[in-house]
């Protein structure tokens, strides 16, 4: 279903800079933001190669809190579909999410609760695809409490992300293109094929734009991607 490069990226350890934390009672919870999940899916699977559908959305509670704000709870069930490049085969995942909207007006509380429930369901469905979608955050044996010092220290049996890119570059890209992208892999970036283009994938990509441009990639404002046509590589 997935190509070698997608499987490789999916297996990488979760970048600690993507992890956010919040308090719930006396417990600190680690999570990924909704926009981050969608952006990651676009990078790994490709625009148009995945989508989701809301199969159920219902209100489950309504009350007033001590500040006389409306508190409305929603439950959502979302189905995520990931397509192969030819759109001939799909992988389907489905999960449930919950959200709470708190506002002075009923309309705003309904809106907040419904949106939060759908986002939560998307995140829970996507986590079945592994580390890049936050599945490791559910591992109670790992420390995901927002301690940046721990994140920056590689675990004993893990390969740091930069070394992973160096040791496991995309063979498909390297075998078909003469360009050496070692400088980009050393920056923690990677190169993937998407349609008729090569695209650059990675974090803090704008701070590395000079290195990316030096390798011949161009910025596309519509798709928000650095790209290079495959035929340009073959020339």
* Closest to 125 in 3D by CA, of 53, 224, 222: 53
CA distance 75 to 210: 45
CA distance 233 to 72: 54
Q: What is the dihedral of CA 103, 106, 108, 113, to 10 degrees?
A: 80
Residue ranges, CATH 3.30.390.80, the chain:
4-151
pLDDT greater at residue 220 or residue 54: 54
Report the range out of 20-29, 36-45, 147-156 with the highest average pLDDT: 36-45
CA distance 59 to 57: 7
Residues 6 or more apart whose Cβ sits within 8 Å of residue 201 = 9, 43, 44, 189, 190, 191, 192
Q: What is the pLDDT of residue 233?
A: 53
Q: What is the pLDDT of residues 158-177, one digit of tens each?
A: 333 333 333 333 333 443 33
Residues 6 or more apart whose Cβ sits within 8 Å of residue 150 = 143
Give the CATH superfamily of 4-151: DNA repair protein Rad52/59/22 (3.30.390.80)
């Amino acid at each position: 279903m997935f190509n070698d490069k997608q499987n490789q990226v999916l297996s990488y350890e979760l970048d600690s800079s993507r992890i956010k934390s919040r308090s719930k009672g006396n417990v600190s919870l680690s999570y990924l933001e909704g926009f981050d999940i969608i952006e990651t899916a676009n990078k790994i699977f490709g625009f148009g190669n995945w989508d989701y559908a809301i199969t159920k959305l219902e209100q489950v509670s309504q009350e007033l809190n001590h500040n006389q704000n409306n508190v409305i709870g929603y439950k959502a069930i979302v189905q995520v579909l990931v397509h192969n490049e030819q759109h001939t085969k799909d992988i389907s995942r489905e999960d449930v999410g919950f959200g709470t909207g708190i506002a002075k007006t009923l309309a705003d509380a309904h809106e907040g609760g419904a949106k939060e429930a759908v986002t939560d369901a998307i995140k829970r469905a996507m986590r079945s695809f592994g580390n890049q979608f936050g599945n490791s955050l559910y591992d109670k044996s790992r420390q995901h409490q927002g301690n940046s010092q721990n994140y920056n220290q590689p675990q004993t049996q893990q390969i740091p992300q930069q070394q992973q890119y160096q040791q496991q570059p995309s063979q498909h890209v390297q075998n078909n293109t003469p360009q050496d992208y070692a400088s980009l892999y050393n920056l923690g970036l990677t190169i993937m094929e998407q349609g008729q283009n090569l695209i650059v994938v990675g974090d803090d990509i704008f701070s590395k734009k000079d290195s990316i441009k030096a390798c011949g990639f161009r910025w596309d404002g519509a798709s928000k991607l650095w790209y290079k046509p495959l035929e340009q590589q073959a020339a």
